[in-house]
Amino acid sequence: MKIVTTNIGEKKEVNWKGKTVTTGIFKYAVDKPIFLDIEEVKEDAICDREHHGGVLQAVYGYSLKHYAYFKELYPDLNFEMGMFGENLTLDDLDEKKIHQGDTFKVGETILEATVQRNPCMKLGIRFNDMKIVKQFWNTTFCGVYFKVLKTGLVKAGDVFEQIKACPENPTIANLYIAKRAAKGI
């Protein structure tokens, strides 16, 4: 697994159905290393601290392979790296193989897989279609939140080297499926 792009976003206000919504989901690829800190990615806007950022959700990773599935559903949409609000677009992140607690050395950092990403209406705003939220829930393509155990810089091309495996813990996909069931989706 390696980083294809590093992505950050700015605080953006959008008009959605007559309401002003503030979001940081509009991420874009940057051609420079990004600094992964304890509670956030430096220079990346987090507008909803209740659901994003913090120790357990400091960095969000998403698989480039998942893009193909959603491109079929939205063929007219201009897909850019960071489309799902991820800080790290990875070549082959598999939520069915990553367990909670699995730890990776990447760039200068050490990251620990913590939880799944649950979609919210801001993903619908990014896609300009609220159907994406349910479509996202109906997959296991949720991406992975990481805790930063050692801060530092990462860049495109950096490899995720697994340094600790926790097969006794649930996979990120299993956490996502359990969350979906608990929500009655």
Tell me: the pLDDT tens digits for 63-81? 999 999 999 999 999 999 9
- The predicted model gives 169-181 an average pLDDT of 96
CA nearest neighbour of 61 among 154, 137, 130, 128: 154
Are the CB atoms for 163 and 103 separated by under 8 Å?
Answer: yes
pLDDT mean across residues, the chain? 95
Q: What percent of the chain stands above pLDDT 90?
A: 91
CA nearest neighbour of 57 among 126, 125, 111, 121: 111
The H or E element containing residue 68 is helix 64-73
Please give the Cα distance from 33 to 3 (Å, whole number): 11
Strand-strand pairing, 103-106 and 161-164: antiparallel
Q: Name the least confident of 18-27, 101-110, 140-149.
A: 18-27
Are the CB atoms for 161 and 106 separated by under 8 Å?
Answer: yes
pLDDT over threshold 90, residue 50: no
pLDDT digits (tens, 9 = 90+) for 140-160: 999 999 999 999 999 999 999
pLDDT over threshold 90, residue 89: yes
